[in-house]
Structure 1
Amino acid sequence: MNKFCCVLLAMLPLSAFAYPIDVEKDLKGVQIDYNSHDTAYDIGNITVNNYGDVPAKCSVVFRNGPEAPRTRRVQVAPKSSTEVTAKFNREIVKLRIKLSCEPL
């Protein structure tokens, strides 16, 4: 039993590669929700959901430390969602995302 517990504890760091994600949102009259993901060690991802009745124009800025920010602009149709991703050159330690949306 002790050997099993030691093996289990030794494998714990291998399964935990997640990094913290901070999201700052600026929603101007649209019903937007988001869900951020850590898909890989160098890729950031956010799902933008539009629950409103009007289309939304969104700008997503991904920041990872000293690298240049990655800006993605998307349009989200009413009652739908869109995936937005950004790949970085270095491993992400802490990802900061700024989500700005306004109606079209």
Structure 2
Amino acid sequence: MKKLCCALLSLLPLTAFAYPIEVEKSLNGAEVSYDVQEVAPNIGAIFLVNQGQSAARCSAVFRNGPEAPRTRKVLLQSGEKANLNVRFTRDILRLRIRLECGLE
């Protein structure tokens, strides 16, 4: 039984996926906070929260190696939250996100 448990525990690191995520932000006066998420080996996401008193328009450009960049846009009212995600055809090796926000 102990050998079976040890064998199962040794397989855990093989099933985990992790890739580096770099965020280049330009908030332009908007009070937006963000958190990046690893959803799956080929899906990346960024979670946005508008903490300011006015609406903010945000655009996120996701890049994964040689694939074409994917853009997601959202208009966040005061206190609103949004999750922007993208699925790539290949597994993500390093995800680069350019986040641009501005006051509406």
Alignment TM-score, normalising by the size of structure 1: 0.91
The equivalent of 1:57 in structure 2 is: 57
Residue 6 of structure 1: how far off its partner (Å): 4.2
Q: What letter is aligned with 1:52?
A: G
The equivalent of 2:29 in structure 1 is: 29
Unaligned runs of 5+ in 1: none
Residue 12 of structure 1: how far off its partner (Å): 2.2
Are 1:13 and 2:14 matched, yes or no?
Answer: yes
Aligned pair count reads 103
Aligned-pair identity in percent equals 45
The equivalent of 2:84 in structure 1 is: 84
Q: What letter is aligned with 1:11?
A: L
List per-residue Cα deviations over 1:6-65 (Å, max 9, x = no partner). Answer: 441233211x11211111110101111001101111111111110000000111000000
SS of residue in 1 equivalent to 2:53: coil
Q: What letter is aligned with 2:94?
A: K
Residue 91 of structure 1: how far off its partner (Å): 0.7
Q: Within 1, Cα distance between the matches of 2:7 and 2:72? A: 45
Q: Within 1, Cα distance between the matches of 2:85 and 2:8? A: 35
Computed over aligned residues only, the root mean square deviation of the Cα atoms, in angstroms, reads: 1.4
The equivalent of 2:95 in structure 1 is: 95
SS of residue in 2 equivalent to 1:98: strand
Q: Within 1, Cα distance between the matches of 2:12 and 2:44? A: 25
Q: What letter is aligned with 2:42?
A: D
Unaligned runs of 5+ in 2: none
